[in-house]
Structure 1
Amino acid sequence: MANQVLILGIGNILWADEGFGVRTVEQLNQHYAFEDNVTVMDGGTQGIYLAQYVEQADILVVFDAIDYSLKPGEMKLIEGDNVPKFMGVKKMSLHQTGFQEVLMIADMLERYPDYLLLVGVQPVDLEDFGGSLHEITRQQIEPAIAAALKWLEQFDVHATKRKTPLDAEHLLAGNEVNIAEYENNRPSAEEASRIGDDRVLNSTEFTIEYKPHPLDPEDVIGCDVDHRGQY
């Protein structure tokens, strides 16, 4: 029986370089085809909900933007047991915490992939909300794909280059969020500030006050957690 292979891109395309993983699998699927035992998936920011797919994989490849404290745009490959360690060192977003938990769950259930590769790229910027990949990050998409395909060859997993790339209607996540559509139709930074609108942030009318809701003792619900009748 052939190994089940999952090629997964995770991240948030709305946060600039945070979308590296998703954009990589998007391009991979557009230009390459695989046998039926290989699944190419846009994992987005699903986090813990990816567990069911990871548990079914014998071989797992993950593309993601990871803070390695390297030069912006630098690519790094991590294998095997080192992957959870690197994903947990400097978390840049909630999806990484969730995916680290996915790996932990798979391990506890003894359904951990036999082989695991993380292809990560050092991001330039994550705080350009509504932005897209910086050019130096975008340039690592093809090298990342090439590195992953070469790694998979040792398991007799081969990609076939499509004679014609998939059209917009057949892209991995649909045409609405493909990178060309996203970049061409999003508002400019001038039209919609992506780092916070100074007109709001610097306004004297913009205030935040923390007002805790008063606690009514009658609203408190007790629970006898230790069977002593004390709660």
Structure 2
Amino acid sequence: MIEDTLYQDKNVLILGIGNILWADEGFGVRCVETLNQHYRFSNKTKLMDGGTQGIYLVQHVQAADVLVVFDAIDYGLEPGTLKVIHDDDVPKFMGAKQMSLHQTGFQEVLAMAEFTGSYPKHLLLIGCQPVELEDFGGSLRESVRVQIEPAIQIALAYLKKLGVEPMGDNCTPEELAPGELGLNSYEGGRPSEYEAFRQGDPRFIKSTEGTS
């Protein structure tokens, strides 16, 4: 439950995590990217594209009094469903899948922060049930994409209760990641399924033709 204390002077971290290269895994990153494009906050509120940085996020979580996380979470619900989790329940629900053996789950990030005694006072997870995670190079499916704005509004309403509100429209946002990775650029530069070669490296395949 949110206390009466306002958090205007506390450190707020709004974090999007996930891998934009794997279709709906990019939901969290796209949420914080969209939020950054349309709103600006005081310098006490940090918006961050956390990607799949794993333990490298610990220092940022440790510094936060309030943590809001966007992520794609496999709850086993109807694809595109949003689910909101608070405080102590958050670690149970983090991470739809581990993309590699080298990627540290965000559960571990929270555990490390708690172990050091530097853990957010308030924690909110806004997760979206993915449709597709196996399309390498793909983008968000439509039923997930349309949940970006509702997810952002949930986050803004939560922060408002803590006394944290946007200062206005963000007309000239600082990019959270290289511009080429932005949703419009990413989708605009993606070749069609007909043009894209998705069977492996054609140089290798050609060089091994006819071999047993």
TM-score by length of 1: 0.79
List runs of 5+ in structure 2 lacking aligned partners.
1-7
Q: 2:94 aligned with 1:91, yes or no?
A: no
SS state at 2:94 partner? helix
1:205 is displaced (CA, Å) by: 6.3
Q: How does 1:7-18 map to 2 (within 5 A)?
A: 7-18=14-25
Please name the residue that 1:166 is paired with: 172
Residues 1:65 and 2:72 are matched in the alignment? yes
For residues 114-172 of structure 1, what are the alpha-carbon distances to aligned partners after superposition, in whole Å with 9 as ceiling and x for unaligned?
1000000000001110000111111000000000010011111001341x6437xx432
Q: Give CA deviations for 1:172-213 in whole Å, capped at 9, x if unaligned.
A: 21321111111011222222245x46x96xx99698xxxxxx
Mapped to 2, the partners of 1:137 and 1:4 lie a distance apart of 29
Q: Does 1:46 find its partner at 2:53?
A: yes
Higher relative contact order (CA 8 A, sep 6+): 2
Task: In structure 1, give the amino acid aligned to 2:126.
Answer: V
Supply the distance in 1 between the matched residues of 2:143 and 2:69 (Cα, whole angstroms). 20
1:158 and 1:206, CA in 2 relative to 1: closer, same or farther beyond 3 A?
farther
Equivalenced residue count is 199
User: Which residue is equivalent to 1:27?
Assistant: 34
Superposed displacement of residue 96, structure 1:
7.5
Shift in CA distance, 206/177, structure 1 to aligned 2, threshold 3 Å: farther
Structure 1 counterpart of 2:3: none
Amino acid at match of 1:50: L
Deviation digits for residues 35-83 of structure 1, max 9, x if unmatched?
1100000001101110010000000000000000000000000000100
C-alpha contact (below 8 Å) 2:53/2:103 kept by paired residues: no
Between stretches 152-161 and 66-75, larger displacement belongs to 152-161
Counterpart position of 1:149: 156
What does 1:1-231 align with in structure 2 at a 5 Å threshold? 2-87=9-94, 91-94=97-100, 97-162=104-169, 165-166=171-172, 170-194=174-198, 196=199
Unaligned runs of 5+ in 1: 208-231
CA separation in 2, counterparts of 1:93 and 1:180? 24
- The structure with the largest alpha-carbon Rg is 1
- Check the 8 A contact 1:66/1:92 in 2, yes or no: no
Q: What do the CA deviations read for 1:75-100 (whole angstroms, capped 9, x no partner)?
A: 00000010001126x53535874211
Kept in 2, the 8 Å contact 1:75–1:120? The answer is yes
TM-score (norm 2): 0.86
